[in-house]
Structure 1
Amino acid sequence: MVEIFLKTLPFFALIGLGFGAGRSGFFPPQATAYLTKFVFYFALSAMLFGFSANLSLADLLDMRAAGAYLLACAVVYGLVMLVAFARRAKLDTATIEAHCAIIGNTGFLGVPMLVVLLGDASVKTVLLVLTIDMIIFSSLFTVLITLARGGRVDRTLPARLLGAVVRNPMVMAMVLGLTWSATGWQVPMPVNDFLTLLGAAATPCALFAIGASLADKKVERLRIVSWLTFAKLFLHPVAVAVAALGLFAVDPYVAGVLIAAAALPVAGNVFILAQHYQAGPARVSATILVSTLVSIATLPVVIAWVTGF
């Protein structure tokens, strides 16, 4: 347990360094925005392309793992929405809270951390989680928000959803990587060296950017924030564990990666959605901060547990 904590400590230390730089004003919000853009469009995309180019679509589409993860997410999503409705929250608020409960920071934290701690074999499962989060649940979010805002789910919705997916560089990096893999061609050495060099920047820059982006966050509505943090860091991994190990009998190693991914704190892009749609951005911002801080203690426990599988 102590060994796992010491292995995760450098990752959280980088987040803390970014937080300190942002809090002190040495790294202003504008710098954080541009660093995030660099990671999102260049470094992390290069890393994901490199991973995907060495996988096949069959490797990525583990139907047992996908089924277990989807069912667990759906249960938690529905539960959090019901709790929100019990408080007489509107549909848009209930939707963003449910999104907080299942969308972990897989891209900026999970990809660099879990691959290092759980091994290269975890790549395909981490990418599976990332794909489900970005395509299926982002689509569900768009549909529910459209209904909440009085919009209609019409024939143009599939095109709008597809457009949103195409504009996401991480999704497209995986698609292009899998397409390249399907050709059977080796990535040319100069290109591979370029991708490796650029992708190596993803881990430190992403972690630093997470910390810097948290520097201006404030904790408001502590009762709701505590509930959402509990749902993300406890209910979500427990639901995934029950579905993967019990209902779907997923391979233990793959199940461990799924559980570890579910134990990640709330993703920063949930705040972007909340801010764009003005659906409780303050509570989402606070939940990202609190869940990230609490995960310093909880994530090593989960990773130590699943490494025993």
Structure 2
Amino acid sequence: MSIVALLTPFARLFLLLALGALLGRLRVITAEGSNQLSTLIINVTMPAVTLIAVARDLSPDMLRMAPWALVLIVLVGLVLWSAAMLAGRAARLQPGTRGVMALTCGCFNTASLGIPVVQTVLGPVAAVYAVMADMGINVNLFTFGVAGLANGRSGRWYRPILKALLSPMFMALFVGGAWFATGWELPGLVADALDLLAGCNAPLSMLLLGYLIYSHARTGLALTWPLLGIISTRLVVSPLLMFALTMPLPLDPLTRATVILQAGMPAAMLSPVLAKEYGSDVPLAVTAAVVTTALAMLSLPGVAWLATRGL
């Protein structure tokens, strides 16, 4: 893949990100509007991507490869989470800070940023693998990710897991899988409507992320060594680890490229929500999500080059 072909999709995404920040500056997107936009993406456009990818685009060959995406994301996330927990203990960080550092190192934004980037760089067919990788991150978030937070063993530990299993994303995965199992084609009208909704996912996600970067950056961001560790882990160590791990495995090029790209994503945007839910270091979670998302716009072209070698 040429440099121009590689950078063009990121230029489009960056323009949408910048537009989201500008719309925030002009108050076209407000805090209330961003909440509504987030709800729309989570409950409508991302499930549409999942449903069309599984029900229509999945093939028997892809089905054999798709579980690899989930397993590899869980494995890399667990390794990075464990390393961050050990580093936090060695540095005698407070439990809340240590848990957030581990959470943001081991759980990354494979959904609102990862899926659109994979769609843009690798094409819509790769969305199947991107969705499976995102399922892996949900496993990470609601198992060891939550367990590492300061109050993760409170009586409410099971609620996020149940909420995730009942989310539209999981429902779309189940419905899409059931439809795929029947062997029937999606009705043309339904497929066209889902395509239109899925096509909205990337631009809406970028506008929202642009607004979030603007709204948090203007309040000031504290640069600490745990944050530096999160940045280097998420944007450098994680994709390199995934690249090394996938080289000897019997993966097709598209699966390998997808998991490497997903491994280079910034910290999960759900991290601040979970940090607040479990009484952990919310400022660090917010700062990590915002800063890694902003810097990912610089690092992802390099990750994409690494991921697409051989395509």
Q: TM-score, normalised by structure 2?
A: 0.88
Structure 1 counterpart of 2:232: 230
Q: Where do 1:124-273 residues align within 5 Å?
A: 124-145=128-149, 148-149=150-151, 151=153, 160=159, 162-217=161-216, 218-246=220-248, 248-273=249-274
The answer (yes or no) to whether the contact 1:129–1:258 under 8 Å persists in 2 is yes
Structure 2 counterpart of 1:284: 285
SS at match of 1:268: coil
Q: 2:7 aligns with which of 2, 5, 8?
A: 5
* 1:127–1:58 distance in 2 versus 1, CA, 3 Å: farther
Q: Which runs of 5+ in 2 are unaligned?
A: none
| Structure 1 range deviating more: 160-169 or 41-50 | 160-169
In the alignment, the residues of structure 2 paired with residue 59 and residue 271 of structure 1 have an alpha-carbon distance, to the nearest angstrom, of 34
Structure 2 counterpart of 1:119: 123
Letter paired with 1:114:
V
Q: 1:71 aligns with which of 68, 75, 94?
A: 75
* 1:272–1:11 distance in 2 versus 1, CA, 3 Å: same
Deviation at 1:197, TM superposition (A): 2.0
Residue deviations 1:75-97, cap 9 Å, x none?
A: 11111111111222244432221
* 1:118–1:40 distance in 2 versus 1, CA, 3 Å: same
SS at match of 2:215: coil
* 1:58–1:273 distance in 2 versus 1, CA, 3 Å: farther
Letter paired with 2:164:
V
In the alignment, the residues of structure 2 paired with residue 278 and residue 240 of structure 1 have an alpha-carbon distance, to the nearest angstrom, of 31
1:93 aligns with 2:97: yes
Q: TM-score, normalised by structure 1?
A: 0.88
Residue deviations 1:11-65, cap 9 Å, x none?
A: 1211111122213433211111111111111122112111111226884463554
The answer (yes or no) to whether the contact 2:110–2:265 under 8 Å persists in 1 is yes
In the alignment, the residues of structure 2 paired with residue 21 and residue 152 of structure 1 have an alpha-carbon distance, to the nearest angstrom, of 40
In the alignment, the residues of structure 2 paired with residue 135 and residue 56 of structure 1 have an alpha-carbon distance, to the nearest angstrom, of 24
Letter paired with 1:225:
L
The answer (yes or no) to whether the contact 1:105–1:264 under 8 Å persists in 2 is yes
* 1:65–1:187 distance in 2 versus 1, CA, 3 Å: closer
In the alignment, the residues of structure 2 paired with residue 268 and residue 57 of structure 1 have an alpha-carbon distance, to the nearest angstrom, of 32
> Alignment identity in percent?
22
In the alignment, the residues of structure 1 paired with residue 9 and residue 154 of structure 2 have an alpha-carbon distance, to the nearest angstrom, of 49
In the alignment, the residues of structure 2 paired with residue 56 and residue 172 of structure 1 have an alpha-carbon distance, to the nearest angstrom, of 20
SS at match of 1:200: helix
Deviation at 1:150, TM superposition (A): 7.4
The answer (yes or no) to whether the contact 2:151–2:279 under 8 Å persists in 1 is no
The answer (yes or no) to whether the contact 2:20–2:208 under 8 Å persists in 1 is yes
The answer (yes or no) to whether the contact 1:19–1:215 under 8 Å persists in 2 is yes
* 1:23–1:85 distance in 2 versus 1, CA, 3 Å: farther
Deviation at 1:179, TM superposition (A): 1.4
SS at match of 2:270: helix
SS at match of 2:50: helix
